[in-house]
């Protein structure tokens, strides 16, 4: 059985005309009859190429302000007829329906309209009916018809018909059909998510993707689904890996807490901050962030809330790091950072980040709002006899922001808006605390007068006791344990201050 098909006719109806001209000219060169309507018909005529109006085929005008143009049996019959089915052949002959072998159609820009300042009525009018129907019909009948459903497919399609004199193979038509159903399903998901108010129903679709070198480990396949270019301009370096992307995600969400603050620099490794500092200059912020854990910083992801200058770049260049992220770079600073060929340099753009997050779990998906609560001074309740000083309050809020973005169980130490140490991802809060004390000591930090943040309550007073003996003078935690009083009593007996926020910040 010969599965190759030579096209004799094509239906073209597109919203975007970019890149269409060479295809139309090639179809005309191949003596393929072209049917069209509306703006596409005018476009083809203006090229001096003969085109048959769909209205001539259907003997019916475009009606309802263009809402109904191609929805007609003479159009869909020509697309859906099975060329090897005798009954289909008889019927299209009886009703004078021409076979349509190529369908080139795209969809109204619904998602772009939603993102604009358009009214609801304008958005509703961008719900495509005819286009989506044509795509589904042509893709369904891929045995006989090839469906080109996006301008992103124009080059591939033009290459096929040019090389093969208008002939397509079943493999090619099936491939284009899969792409077409991908586009139609994504489009329907976007419409659903715009209209849906039922939070118990989950639909997600991404129309852009990237193949990664591998997943978390070399033996795992890895892909990124989303539009990374909407968030970053990549200036230099190798492609982002799966693990890079996880660290970049953690870095971006952490730095969002300090976006409007004085110069702030963070260094992350395995999704946790190993260094973070705020200073009067970005250079000093970086130096003090690196001092937090210069060992873990090796191979890490660096992020700044300010444009990177030459002095800062010179310091960064001494460190092997995978990724550098900033809102901008001075020209001379960028030249320095590009000195390592694989170093990934990103400019972060101003776009809104998602307000929800999801991940696979068991045989389904877990979905939740992001943790959008940032502890503020107004949230703090002093529960001890001693109140935090002004400096301690600033450090408590600073430490709390870091703690929120650190894997649980976690304890964070900070002083003078510098991360001294953190205990991350431990199965016991006491273990996290001891780990933080050990790290602070190893890197030469004096914890006297430092503050401590915890992502969850203390079920026993052992944590505040260990912290007190290490030099911690003030503590921030959510509270909520039935034994909160034990920790409060220890603080009162030993001159420590403690504030409670009422908000837990687990991160798993």
Give how far Cα 275 sits from Cα of 11, 21, 49, 191, 415, Å. Answer: 60, 55, 65, 43, 13
Query: Torsion over CA of 375, 381, 384 and 387, rounded to 10 degrees?
Result: 70
Q: Structure tokens of 26?
A: 């090639």
Where is 423: in which H helix or E strand? strand 419-423
Choosing from 26, 234, 236, 270, the catalytic residue is: 270
- Tell me if residue 124 falls in helix, strand or coil: helix
- Within 10 Å of residue 385's Cβ, how many Cβ atoms? 13
Choosing from 17, 26, 89, 140, the catalytic residue is: 140
Cβ neighbours for 212, distance < 8 A, ≥ 6 positions apart: 222, 223, 224, 239, 240, 241, 242, 245
Q: Indicate if 221 belongs to the active site.
A: no
Q: Structure tokens of 27?
A: 């179809």
Alpha-carbon distance of 248 to 54, in angstroms, equals: 51
Give how far Cα 410 sits from Cα of 112, 331, 375, 431, 434, Å. Answer: 41, 39, 16, 9, 11
Cβ neighbours for 417, distance < 8 A, ≥ 6 positions apart: 277, 278, 279, 394, 395, 398
Where is 381: in which H helix or E strand? strand 381-382
Give how far Cα 292 sits from Cα of 296, 305, 353, 405, 442, Å. Answer: 9, 18, 28, 16, 10
Task: Answer yes or no: are the C-beta atoms of 288 and 327 closer than 8 Å.
Answer: no
Q: Indicate if 270 belongs to the active site.
A: yes
Cβ neighbours for 387, distance < 8 A, ≥ 6 positions apart: 497
Alpha-carbon distance of 227 to 246, in angstroms, equals: 15
DSSP letter for each residue of 465-487: HHHHHHT--EEEE----TTHHHH
Residues tagged active-site: 140, 270
């Amino acid at each position: 059985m010969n599965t190759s098909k030579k096209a004799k006719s094509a239906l073209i109806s597109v919203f975007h005309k970019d890149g269409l001209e060479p295809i139309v000219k090639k179809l005309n060169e191949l003596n393929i009859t072209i049917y069209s309507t509306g703006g596409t018909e005018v476009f083809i005529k203006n090229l001096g190429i003969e085109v048959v109006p769909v209205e001539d085929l259907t003997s019916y005008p475009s009606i309802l302000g263009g809402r109904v143009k191609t929805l007609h049996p003479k159009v869909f019959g020509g697309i859906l007829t099975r060329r090897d089915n005798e009954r289909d052949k008889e019927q299209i002959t009886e009703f004078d329906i021409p076979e349509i072998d190529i369908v080139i159609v795209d969809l109204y820009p619904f998602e772009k309209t939603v993102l604009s300042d358009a009214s609801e009525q304008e958005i509703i009018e961008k719900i495509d009916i005819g286009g989506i129907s044509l795509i589904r019909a042509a893709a369904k009948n891929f045995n006989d018809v090839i469906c080109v459903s996006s301008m992103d497919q124009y080059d591939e399609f033009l290459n096929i018909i040019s090389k093969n004199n208008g002939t397509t193979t079943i493999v090619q038509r099936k491939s284009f059909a899969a792409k077409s159903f991908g586009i139609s399903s994504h489009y329907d998901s976007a419409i659903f998510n715009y209209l849906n108010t039922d939070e118990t129903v989950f639909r997600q679709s991404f129309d852009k993707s990237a193949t990664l070198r591998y997943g978390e480990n070399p033996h795992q396949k890895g892909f990124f689904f989303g539009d990374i270019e909407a968030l970053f301009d990549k200036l230099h370096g190798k492609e982002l890996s799966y693990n890079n992307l996880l660290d970049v995600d953690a870095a971006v969400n952490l730095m969002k807490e300090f976006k409007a603050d004085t110069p702030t620099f963070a260094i992350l490794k395995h999704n946790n901050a190993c260094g973070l500092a705020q200073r009067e200059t970005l250079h000093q912020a970086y130096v003090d962030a690196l001092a937090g854990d210069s060992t873990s910083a090796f191979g890490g992801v660096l992020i700044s809330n300010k444009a990177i200058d030459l002095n800062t770049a010179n310091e960064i260049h001494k460190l092997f790091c995978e990724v550098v992220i900033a809102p901008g770079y001075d020209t001379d600073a960028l030249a320095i950072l590009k000195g390592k060929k694989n170093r990934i340099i990103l400019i972060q753009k101003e776009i809104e980040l998602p307000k929800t997050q999801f991940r696979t779990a068991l045989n389904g998906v877990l979905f939740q709002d992001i943790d959008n609560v940032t502890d503020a001074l107004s949230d703090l309740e002093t529960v001890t006899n001693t109140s935090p000083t002004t400096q301690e309050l600033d450090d408590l809020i600073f430490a709390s922001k870091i703690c929120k973005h650190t894997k649980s169980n976690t304890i964070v130490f900070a002083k003078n808006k510098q991360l001294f140490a953190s205990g991350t991802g431990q199965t016991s809060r006491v273990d996290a605390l001891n780990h933080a004390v050990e790290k602070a000591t190893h890197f030469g930090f004096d914890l006297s007068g430092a503050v401590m943040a915890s992502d969850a309550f203390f079920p026993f007073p052992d944590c505040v006791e260990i912290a007190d003996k290490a030099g911690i003078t003030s503590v921030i935690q959510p509270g909520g344990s039935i034994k909160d009083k034990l920790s409060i009593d220890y603080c009162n007996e030993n001159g420590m201050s403690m504030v409670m926020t009422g908000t837990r910040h687990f991160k798993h």
